[in-house]
Structure 1
Amino acid sequence: MASTTERIQTSAERNRLLLSILSETDYALPALQQHESYLGDLERQRKDATKWVEGVDKMRKKELKEHKKYRDSVMKRFAYKVSGNKDKFEEKAAKEEREYFDVLQEEHKAKEQVQSLEALYEEAMAYKTELHGIMSRHSSAQHDLDTLYDAIFDGPTPEFPEEDSMERAAKEALQAYHDTKVRVEVELEVIKTLSAVVRHLDEALYHIEDALDHSRMDMFGGGTISDMMERNALHKAELSTQEAQRLMKQAQRQSKRQVTRMLPVHIAHGSILSDVVFDNIFTDMAFHDKIKASRAEVQRCRLDADCQLADARSRYQQLDQAVQEKAQGLETARSELQHTRELIFGQATAAASGSDQRGTTSP
């Protein structure tokens, strides 16, 4: 089985070619980022210029209408002539004509600007496509280089302990990045779930307010219809709170109990006995107070859910920052590992070249 040094020497030319491609194409990513910003600015200018053309076109149509009105108005010309103000008519007509041609000139300028911007945009899009091609070439070369290095250096290489040290550091950095990334994704799901909890509690509050409106009508003689509408609204409020409770439990599981259980909430229920048999102003007022108590409980739950959502967002922001730091650490570790491997390649091929030269000059 070939040694690591022998595999390096066999792959030396391939390594040199791939490093050359990476060096030639390194500029593509920063160039593409800068170019995207330029494209965005061009797009804004195109929209502004298009609005300018549309505005000038409306003005041109208006001025054309005024111009034609004076140019073709026989009666106006006759009226001015009879009154001895023929010169005034000609002056007014000439003014309308000048204004019309001024607008025509502005429209021409606006359209020329749009055409110029369109040409620049097409040219910029073509260059973007070219940069994407260079980026693809760079990514392909990097992938091939990683594959080459992994085939040679993956696992223990006793001849090159410094490479083993760098390889362990890169693997640890990758694991740290993955672990933090998973936690970020989990926290994002918790935020989505808690947002749904808040939304359902808002729905419950909406239905409770609806129930209170019907309860007020019931106290002032709303009758059976008000009772039915009141009970229906409370039923909807209860369904919403039950769904909020289910989602809160889900958020607890997702967050590994960092989210606490939802505060207890009880939605008041009406009954046929109180609504029909013993229905009077006093029972209606008592039940109205029960509905208000339910509202207060849901409001407390809503406030608590809001606080827990804020906590989850804070945890997410901290983890997201940590992910960026881990990603930077991973990139640094990989870069150092690749640099170490490049140095080993250079040393091994230089040693082989020196050995070849000594063998050639030996008597």
Structure 2
Amino acid sequence: MFSEINTKLIEIKGDLRKKQKFEAQIEDFQKEYKVVEERIAQLQKNYKSEEKDVTQLEKMTLKNLFALLSGTKDEKLSKEKQELIAAKHKLEEASKTKSEINKAILDLKNKLHTLNNVESSYKQLLSEKEKMIKASHSPHADKMFELSEQEGILKAYIQELEEAIVAGTRVKHDLLEAQTSLEKASNWGTFDMFGGGSISSFVKHQHLDEAEASIHKAQTSMRYFQKELLDIKEEAHLEIDISGMLKFADFFFDGFFVDMMVQGKINDSLEQTKSQLTKVSEILSDLTEQFEARKGEVETIGHERKELIESL
């Protein structure tokens, strides 16, 4: 009988922590959603402004005619078109992020719905526990339940650590892919600077496209990683700059089409990616250490409970 209720207590403790975790994640996602909405509104204004600039330049006014004759109009129009493409790209990126956040909120709400009655179930189990303690003549009953409570809390925390490690490993994988693509782009970019021609330029941009896709994936997985860290970073004693982690891809998407042709920009992006990879690896190392330590504590509790049962 004790074994059965112990198992239930461990499970319900895990469900209680899950509910708290989902609620915290939804709240954080909703805050982020508002920020993205504000960013989209600003980006839409920027895009319309850039579009207006291009349209005005394309009109054959007297001013534009003189610019055309002096050979400056095409150069200016090219720059304005690049800025228009960059504005459009940022807007598309932000809209994609908004859609992903919205989906994440809906998924969490569905998970939360399955845990609606977890508090009442926990109270019922506590009531059953109290009755069993009163009915038991064993002097060790209180200690047994205390150990099961500790085990339940630890197992729930271990599961959260494991989920955070999985999420962090996904980020690391995406960053490594981005690093590989940027290294290839950098190498081809160097070749391009020394007269590589149209082929080297094409290959360079092909690798930049791959890097862009990987960095978007990394930013998305970083967002989920950050949510997994919300409820454990204090317990795990982790010092993490969450806001900095979420904005890590800004260096890449800001001005991507305008100045990514410059070799220095590619190298800067590569260094930023390596920096984020180092940070994520350090956090994963700390989480793994915590995971192994907590597993050891669960084993210790298991041995203590076994010895208690054998002494009865």
TM-score normalised to the size of structure 2? 0.49
